[in-house]
Amino acid sequence: MTKTIVNSWNEWDPLRHVIVGRADDGHIPPEEPALDAKVPEDSDMRGEWGRRPQETIDRANELLDNFASLLEKRGVRVDRPTPIDHSKPVTTPDFHTESQFGCMPPRDVLLTVGSEMLEATMSYRCRWFEYLNYRPLMQRYFDEDPNFRHESAPKPRLTDADYHPDYLSEEIGVAKRLQWAEEKFFVTTEEEPLFDAADVLRFGRDLVVQHGFTTNLKGIEWLRRHFPDHRVHTVNFPGDPYPIHIDATFTPLRPGLILNNPQRRLPDDQRKMYEDNDWQIVDAAQPAHNTPPPLCYSSTWLSMNVLVLDPKTVCVEKSEVYQAEQMDKLGMEVVEVELRDAYAFGGGLHCCTADVYREGTCEDYFP
């Protein structure tokens, strides 16, 4: 059979085929350097680990299944991962951890650029084998699509040399974290290339990559060499004390329009390429909630973690009324999707998906 299965160059062209994660067997992993740095001092997750309560897994799966059927009803083909046993420990010659994470969210692991799907290095030990959840799909795409390029970035060693010990103290505090973020001093060192796929946004010829906890400068350099036909831009959002994954911070909606988290504004000296090409960067609406749901790693800014179905249509979480209202004012048709009870498994509507096919080709939006 010869047909194109995999093709996606940006975050907004009409979506035709997507992967939606599953909450099955989701775990809160035991302590490890990169993960500890991410958990706020006042979080209900400090010191907790083990399999997540079954009723939360069931509820999250119900919401993810509903999201998948909603997408299917709109003509989007949906694939689901095949969960591996996440209770199994991971041991390599370099590290050991007692459990894994889950098969949520796929956006963190898989980066689709054109006809390629690239498995990220990841930067948490508990997520080292997460790509295995998606291998059955990768094998199928490989068999069915003669142009599909299945790639895997070099597996990192993740020894202690990958993490700054300063980040491992019990009480760092938000003020110190913000100062470190400003200085671009993050938990990961420059020992070896590290990146999570969700630190990358695709704008056709341009890839915008957040330097933070989960992606280091060597990881960005690796991406630059791996995608020689792209321009790769490094961005920072100094207002974020826990900079992990760009998609609750900077959200392109269509050519010319990006939502930016007002607490994590893109610094002026990184705005030139957008301004020179008449792109607007607008502050996202406030989240509808004051706190994240229980046992959740993410902030309330999952409000802006939307999934764009096409340049006029966007999925917004059902309770995020201010975000929906803003979308409406920006001329987008809003599709409400209930997902908040699945946030704890790793994120919102953009996170819990990974692109397989969007219409369109590789365009240059910043000539």
CB of 186 to ligand ARG, least distance (A): 13
352 in catalytic set: no
Stretch that binds ligand ARG, among 229-237, 296-304, 313-321, 337-345 (CB under 6 A): 296-304
- Tokens encoding 26: 């989701």
Question: What residue has token string 């290095």?
Answer: 121
Measure Cα distances from 143 to 4, 131, 137 in Å.
Answer: 11, 18, 10
Stretch that binds ligand ARG, among 116-124, 137-145, 240-248, 320-328 (CB under 6 A): 240-248
245 in catalytic set: yes
Residue from 198, 220, 259, 285 in contact with ligand ARG (CB under 6 A)? 198
Helices then strands, each counted (H, E), the chain: 7, 19
| Count of residues touching ligand ARG (by CB under 6 A) | 14
Which residue lies nearer to ligand ARG by CB, 145 or 212? 212
CB of 69 to ligand ARG, least distance (A): 22
CA nearest to 248, candidates 129, 105, 124, 72: 105
Residue from 103, 248, 316, 327 in contact with ligand ARG (CB under 6 A)? 248
- Tokens encoding 63: 């919401």
Calpha distance 255→246 (Å, rounded) = 18
8 Å CB contact between 19 and 110? yes
CA nearest to 204, candidates 255, 265, 241, 261: 255
Residue from 13, 79, 108, 145 in contact with ligand ARG (CB under 6 A)? 108
CB of 208 to ligand ARG, least distance (A): 14
- Kindly state whether residue 259 participates in binding ligand ARG, applying the rule CB under 6 A: no
Calpha distance 116→260 (Å, rounded) = 28
Q: Which residues bind ligand ARG (CB under 6 A)?
A: 105, 107-108, 198, 244-245, 247-248, 298-299, 301, 346-347, 351
